[in-house]
Amino acid sequence: MANSKRLFGVVRRKLLSRSPSSITTIRSSIPETTKEHIAAIKIQAYFRGHLARRAFRALRSLVKLQAVARGVLVRRQARIALHCMHALARLQVRVRARRSTRNKERRESTEILTRLNQITKRDVRGVVREDLSEPGQYQRGLSSAKGADSNEDI
């Protein structure tokens, strides 16, 4: 009630501050347009403008509130996404380290096997054997070596 009295006072002062020539006459279908009728129309126009501005301010504050709420949600989503990406990066580091260790172990085992093959290709006496894959050659090499050694043992 107090707001409407204050608003009415503001509108009345604005109307009285204008000169009579600046007040536009509104023609309507009613032939009688009195000063009171024109004043009522002006008051209604000012009041509707006031309501529209107030609604716009409320809407603007609501939009700001929505922006704040959405900002909070977006920041939360970004934090979760960053956490997941960090976890994936840690997992990737673990997998690469495991793969590197396996490759290193394979290289070491192949080196050991090649050394063993080189060692087993040599006979106890230091004689190089031809090929271990064919047992006939190995036996021939041993039989010829035994024949040569048989003189020494006697």
pLDDT at 17: 67
Q: Is residue 130 part of a domain?
A: no
What span, in angstroms and rounded, lies between the C-alpha atoms of 14 and 9? 9
Q: Is residue 119 part of a domain?
A: yes
What span, in angstroms and rounded, lies between the C-alpha atoms of 12 and 107? 98
Q: Is residue 51 part of a domain?
A: yes
Q: Is residue 117 part of a domain?
A: yes
Per-residue pLDDT of the chain (154 residues; tens, 9 = 90+): 567 667 777 766 776 666 555 555 555 555 567 888 999 999 999 999 999 999 999 899 888 888 988 999 999 999 999 999 999 999 999 999 999 999 888 888 888 888 888 777 765 555 555 555 555 544 555 555 555 444 544 4
Q: What's the pTM?
A: 0.36
C-beta separation of 89 from 101 below 8 A: no
Q: How many domains does the chain have?
A: 1
- Tokens 């000012």 belong to which residue? 46
What is the domain range of residue 61? 2-123
- Quickly list H helices, the chain: 2-17, 35-121, 135-153
Q: Which residues are CB-contacts of 42 (< 8 A; sequence separation ≥ 6)?
A: 11, 15, 23
Q: Is residue 135 part of a domain?
A: no
